[in-house]
Structure 1
Amino acid sequence: MSEEQVKRLCEIAPKYGLTLESQGLVITKINGQPTQLDTAKYMPDQFVDLLAQIIATNMKADLWQWQ
């Protein structure tokens, strides 16, 4: 991914229930949780798929903890 794509992704992420913070090409926070995801290692569609997997994992955890 390019730095411009990372910036755009951070801008549009809230529309899909995510907050992302970045430094250059590295995503440093997802929904306030620290991380170090180097987006340069991904094609844009691959990184979006990774984010979708993170959302799915969080939803599953919430479902199983619900009572």
Structure 2
Amino acid sequence: MTEAVHHPLPAPPRVGAPRRSGEELTSALARLDALDAVPVHDHVDVFDAIDRALRERLASAED
């Protein structure tokens, strides 16, 4: 039986000072570009993290 190979997920955006929306988009696109190194079964987690980060950024822009 083969052992599962663990590939780390791309890091989520850092919490701290708010970034401009262009930086958020660039960060999200960079995480999408890194998907080739992530096993397919982990793609949903990456998509969810990116979606959550972008939605949070949009929500804070509306305040």
> Do both proteins adopt the same fold according to a TM-score greater than 0.5, normalized to the shorter chain?
no
**Which structure carries more helix by proportion?**
2
**Which structure carries more strand by proportion?**
1
Bin the TM-score by the shorter chain: 0.3 to 0.5
Given the two structures, how large is their TM-score scaled by the length of structure 1? 0.40
Higher relative contact order (CA 8 A, sep 6+): 2
Q: Which is higher, the Rg of structure 1 or of structure 2?
A: 2
